[in-house]
Chains A and B, each alone.
Chain A
Amino acid sequence: MYVVVSLAILVTMVLALVRALRGPSVYDRVLAVNMFGTKTALLLAVIAFLFERPDFLDLALAYALINLVGVLAVLEFIQSKPRKAEAADLD
């Protein structure tokens, strides 16, 4: 049963990767990567039950935390880029 669910999640991760590669804007890519990250947390939780190893739940939580911080950091980087360019122009 868990195999079906994890397969569905894996297929969705592939679809998200396709979207990340096709773009077109950088925000589409970040959206796809964010989706990929949350699906990874979901997949890890399902895998914990699939292989009956509860330790994987801790990994799922850690991945969810890292994913949030990572996406926010990437957004901050993208947003601050034009500002830095403006500052460079002023110099």
Chain B
Amino acid sequence: MIELVLDILSWVLLCTGGAFVLIGGIGALRLPGFYTRLHAASLTETMATILIFAGMILQAGLSLAAIKLFAIMVFLLLTAPTASYALANAALQSGLRPVAQREGEDA
């Protein structure tokens, strides 16, 4: 009984994770401008990663695989912001201006 509930829960997590990965991919194509695409990439890198790894941890149960999955998830979640910060900052330093009005200015 408990196994069935765990199975269903992990399937739901995996499927929503897959859906978020797809949405992020679509967003990376659809959104205009570099800085907005950054948000689509971060959608796949945080939400989808959490959901898919959570689903797989539920499937793995208490085992070495679960610990490894958790370690990979934490590593991905720690490095994803670093990489996107480095990327955004490099773009900013090279003079790629965000297409957004500054705070306080009228559109």
Contact = CB atoms under 8 A, between A and B. Distances in A.
Given a CB threshold of 8 Å, the question of whether A touches B is answered with yes
A54 B61 CA distance: 13
B41 A42 contact: no
B96 interface: yes
16 contacts: A1-B14, A5-B52, A15-B26, A25-B34, A25-B91, A27-B91, A27-B96, A31-B38, A38-B80, A49-B60, A54-B68, A57-B65, A61-B68, A64-B72, A72-B83, A79-B94
Contact of B56 (A9, A14, A49, A79): A49
Interface of A is mostly: helix
Counting contact residues on chain B (CB < 8 A from A), the size range is 35 or more
B87 A31 contact: yes
B37 A19 contact: yes
B82 interface: yes
Given A45-B53, A46-B56, A71-B83, A38 B65 contact: no
